[in-house]
């Protein structure tokens, strides 16, 4: 164990890390991050891994109970934030500033799944609702994160969660695919604008991560009787080249830590696909 006098002692206690080897993973010491959709699923795993790597994390979500419990367990702050409301997002970003005086990382990850519908029967109110969260939520978050990063002179990292559904057809509902493809376009244009200031902007595109959202999606398309275990098995068999292995939330979180950290210091305007090779395999068949 490290001697109690080490300058990293309080960090280790805050992150509940007990082995010296953990230093190898402390890639975000002192960084300040906002994670939208951080109360569960991919966002929660990423908020946890950010904190374990030494970051101060603001979790912004609408699931107040689980967000608060998670924040307390990892030394983070929680704020109620509906990303479809610009003022909520601005408040979440401002919390980072009032708490730690800067913002280094935005993980803009909040999202909802779409409902199954033929293009001819689309319910436009549902489309607008999904776009207000999955697409405009990212616009709100990037806008306000960029403002404060530019104001603080931070060479920050902005990461948005797109999806395999943003680059391929047939995987999800029309409005969901629309929103995820839109995020990719937004990411690229913002990367062009902010690169001159040293701010990196990237996407991650997961595929088939068995979270609440994915299980609900499978139930919608394949029947309510599907259990989470069956979803994991099916995704492993059909959604990955890795011998039946489905992605975990930690697989995605590690990619987000990489893009957030200085290890990815020359990577911007990039979409990092985390899919066990699934989209490459489909592309090679065509």
Alpha helices by DSSP H, the chain: 9-14, 41-52, 64-74, 86-100, 124-134, 136-152, 174-194, 212-222, 228-238, 249-260, 278-285
CB of 204 to ligand NAD, least distance (A): 8
Stretch in the footprint of ligand NAD (CB under 6 A) among 26-34, 50-58, 110-118, 194-202: 110-118
Q: Which residue has the tokens 């839109």?
A: 182
Closest residue by Cα to residue 56 from 4, 94, 102, 108:
102
Q: Please report whether residue 181 would count as binding ligand NAD according to CB under 6 A.
A: no
Cβ proximity to ligand NAD: between 12 and 178 the closer is 178
For residues 143 and 87, give the distance between their C-alpha atoms in angstroms, rounded to a whole number: 12
Return d(Cα 249, Cα 253) in angstroms, integer.
Answer: 6
> Is 212 an interacting residue with respect to ligand NAD (CB under 6 A)?
yes
Site for ligand NAD in 34-93 (CB under 6 A): 36-37, 39-43, 61-63, 81-84
Q: Does 255 bind ligand NAD (CB under 6 A)?
A: no
* Span near ligand NAD by CB under 6 A; candidates 1-9, 116-124, 142-150, 209-217: 209-217
Nearest-angstrom CA–CA distance, 283 and 286: 5
Two tokens, residue 208? 């088939």
Among 127, 207, 232, 240, binds ligand NAD (CB under 6 A): 207
Q: Could you confirm whether 218 is annotated as catalytic?
A: no
Residue 133 found at the interface with ligand NAD (CB under 6 A): yes
Catalytic residues: 176
Positions touching ligand NAD (CB under 6 A) are: 36-37, 39-43, 61-63, 81-84, 109-112, 133, 161, 163, 206-209, 211-214
């Amino acid at each position: 164990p490290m001697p109690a006098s080490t300058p990293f002692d309080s960090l280790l206690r805050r992150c509940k890390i007990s082995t010296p080897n953990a230093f190898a993973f402390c890639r975000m010491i002192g960084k300040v991050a906002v994670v939208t959709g951080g109360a569960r699923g991919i966002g929660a795993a990423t908020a946890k891994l950010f904190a374990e790597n030494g970051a101060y994390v603001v979790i912004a979500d609408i699931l107040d109970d689980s967000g608060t419990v998670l924040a307390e367990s990892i030394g983070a702050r929680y704020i109620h934030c509906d990303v479809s409301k610009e003022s909520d997002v601005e408040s979440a970003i401002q919390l980072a500033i009032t708490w730690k005086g800067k913002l280094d990382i935005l993980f803009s990850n909040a999202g909802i799944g779409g409902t199954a519908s033929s293009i001819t029967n689309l319910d436009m109110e549902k489309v607008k609702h999904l776009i207000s969260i999955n697409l405009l939520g990212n616009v709100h978050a990037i806008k306000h994160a960029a403002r404060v990063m530019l104001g603080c002179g931070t060479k920050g990292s902005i990461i948005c969660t797109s999806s395999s559904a943003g680059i391929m057809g047939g995987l999800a509902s029309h409005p969901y695919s629309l929103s995820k493809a839109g995020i990719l376009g937004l990411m690229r244009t913002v990367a062009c604008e902010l690169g001159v200031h040293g701010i990196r902007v990237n996407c991650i595109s997961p595929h088939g991560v068995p979270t609440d959202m994915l299980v609900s999606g499978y139930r919608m398309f394949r029947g309510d009787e599907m259990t989470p275990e069956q979803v994991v098995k099916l995704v492993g068999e059909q959604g990955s080249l890795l011998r039946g292995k489905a992605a975990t939330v930690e697989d995605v979180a590690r990619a987000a830590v990489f893009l957030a950290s200085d290890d990815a210091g020359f990577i911007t305007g990039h979409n990092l696909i985390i899919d066990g090779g699934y989209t490459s395999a489909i592309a090679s068949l065509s």
